[in-house]
Chains A and B, each alone.
Chain A
Amino acid sequence: MLRIANVTMHFGGIAALQNVSLDVMPGGIYSIIGPNGAGKTTLFNCISGIYRARSGSITFKGKELIGTKAHKISQMGIARAFQNIELFKGMTVLDNLMSARGFLHHYGLLAATLYLGRCAREERKCRDRVEEVIELLDLQKCRKTPVGALSYGVQKRVELGRALTMEPEMVLIDEPVSGMNLEETEDMARYILDVNEERNITVLLIEHDMGLVMDLSDRVTVLNFGVKIAEGSPDEIARNPEVISAYLGRQQS
């Protein structure tokens, strides 16, 4: 579904990504792990078109993404939930979720000024779809609350929700549980599983919480200093000596 082949990305003299290749099959949860600065978020930025990889190719359902504009990539069905919350602070939760569906509407400026016919119809349909996501993520209580007034954990959930309302085929989730307590982490894990299983959305996940990654993932890739050092099932990764020395750490005996 998503094929990344030999992607290289430099910032000045630093190689953030070096010949990274991976292949994401439809349907599963695919995790990318690695120490800080390993290039995980850079890889996401390359996929979603915020950065332009220097070489290599990224294809989604056979279409090349490198060089495609960011908003076109998201319209192709790759949604993104950001690591540092990038919500639209001036809007309510509802408007934030609805804002991500703009490209699914087909009315123009003139219809919008009158708010009649097609515009009103599509807005109502949009609201209907957004309510499904609100229900999925238990956001009913804070529908009309401005995002800035919500707690960090809920904002993270809205961030995920905003990606889902785009009706994507694949969602890139960047550290969904960083800074969360155990309970919130468990909730988020359940939401991610729901997203994957109920809505049939392929999940590409970056996360440092090993418990979460090992429990949820179907497949894991490990990056270190911009280089892919391992790929495999969670069990294989947990046993891989190179991964252990680079990231998981050796047990003191």
Chain B
Amino acid sequence: MGGKFKTSYKGDMALFQTLWVKVWLGILAAAIVVCPQFLSTYQISILNEMAIAIIGALGLNLLIGYTGQISLGHGAFLAIGAYTTALAAGELNLPFIVTLPLSGFMAALLGMVVGVPALRLKGLYLALGTLAFGFIVDYILFHWDLTQGDMGMAVNPVQIGSWSVQTEKEFFYFIACFAALATLCAKNIARSKIGRNFIAIRDRDIAAEAMGISLAKYKIMAFGLSSFYAGIAGALVAHYQKWIVPGSFDLSLSIAYIAMIILGGLGTVLGSILGAILITGIPHGIIYATDVAKESYPALSGLIVDFKLGIFGLIVVLALLFEPQGLAGIYRRAKVYWKTWPFKY
């Protein structure tokens, strides 16, 4: 058992179980702090995208992975977050520290409204219901005067007190803090009674009810929580991109998020993070590969650009075929393997 012996329940329930875990996390934190110094602006921008995706994926995993409620409307909640902060900052001149939580709560509120039909709908029917919600949000953003439809709208830069977040590097530190906080909160929720109730509803809803868990309360809470995460992610996207159009929050974004949590591992916090990194990273990886191939095979590179989406899809399908538990499953197996290495039991 790796020589871990605990003498109290407190120790057994701690988030960071061993000294090694703390050491590794410390190294990771140090790497995050140091790495922007060695990376190009383009590379940092990839990390920024990933960090935002992590926040959104954590939220969606709480809903789909933990509670088992399928949603195709995650992109719409990101849009609500993005447009809430854009409008609140642009029209009402509210400071960022107000608009960011406002985005989260706005999305959470609408998420809870969407959650109400989830009390009746299950599985594919629920997916269809949330899909319809996505279309409604899309329609409103395209046709509402304030959001300027297809034209898009500008978003004020982030300003906290006298500090204004401008460069990629500043944004990186800024967003990394949020991603870390989001991860910590998700992990805490998952190991508390709320996470257990979510999983109970996913695994056996009738038994969950017989164990005194109110399905209505916790399903709606899951929707609210997931949308809150999406709203925060959306607000960060808006401030990061500085210009938002409805088209970037459509169905394909929702599906990309679903791909993240499925590839990463449903119902695990680590899976959301790995999945977000992978799905955000793949397109950049393909671009990188194309650049390399351009030197020696100019004809091939043209093809790769055409097939970019196809290659992306292929990677997703292959990953699902060979590792249905996602990246978190691979990690789990590797951990067990190394625990007893070099012995095979």
Binding site for B on A (CB under 8 A): 48-50, 69-71, 74-75, 79-80, 82, 86-91, 95, 98-103, 105, 107, 109, 112-115, 119-120, 123-124, 126-128, 131, 162, 166
Residue of A nearest to B202 (CB): A90
Query: In the complex, what residues of A have CB within 8 A of residue B192's CB?
Result: 107, 112, 115, 119, 123
**B82: min CB distance to chain A, Å:** 23
Total A-B pairs, Cβ < 8 A? 114
Complex Cα gap A89–B267 (Å): 12
Cβ A103 vs Cβ B213 within 8 A: yes
Between A49, A105, A107, A109, the greatest number of chain B beta carbons within 10 A of the residue's beta carbon is seen for A109
- List 20 interface pairs A-B (beta carbons < 8 Å), by A numbering: A69-B214, A71-B210, A75-B212, A79-B211, A80-B210, A82-B207, A87-B204, A87-B207, A95-B196, A95-B199, A98-B196, A99-B213, A102-B193, A102-B211, A105-B193, A107-B193, A112-B195, A113-B188, A123-B193, A127-B9
Between B12, B210, B214, B267, the greatest number of chain A beta carbons within 10 A of the residue's beta carbon is seen for B210
Query: In the complex, what residues of A have CB within 8 A of residue B207's CB?
Result: 82, 86-88
Query: In the complex, what residues of B have CB within 8 A of residue A99's CB?
Result: 193, 196-197, 199-200, 208, 211, 213
The 4 closest A-B pairs by CB, nearest first: A86-B207, A112-B192, A103-B212, A88-B203
Cβ B188 vs Cβ A100 within 8 A: no
Cβ B197 vs Cβ A102 within 8 A: yes
Cβ B189 vs Cβ A113 within 8 A: yes
Q: Is B225 an interface residue (CB 8 A)?
A: yes
Residue total for B at the interface (Cβ-Cβ under 8 A): 33
Complex Cα gap A70–B202 (Å): 17
Complex Cα gap A86–B203 (Å): 9
Complex Cα gap A99–B196 (Å): 6
Complex Cα gap A58–B203 (Å): 29
**B290: min CB distance to chain A, Å:** 40
Query: In the complex, what residues of B have CB within 8 A of residue A70's CB?
Result: 206, 209-210
Pick the residue among B9, B188, B208 that contacts A112 (CB under 8 A): B188
**Which residues from 208 to 264 on chain B have a C-beta closer than 8 Å to any C-beta of chain A?**
208-215, 221, 225
Query: In the complex, what residues of B have CB within 8 A of residue A103's CB?
Result: 212-213
**A120: min CB distance to chain B, Å:** 8
Query: In the complex, what residues of A have CB within 8 A of residue B9's CB?
Result: 124, 127-128, 131
Cβ A88 vs Cβ B189 within 8 A: no
Residue of B nearest to A126 (CB): B193
Query: In the complex, what residues of B have CB within 8 A of residue A120's CB?
Result: 10
Q: Is B191 an interface residue (CB 8 A)?
A: yes
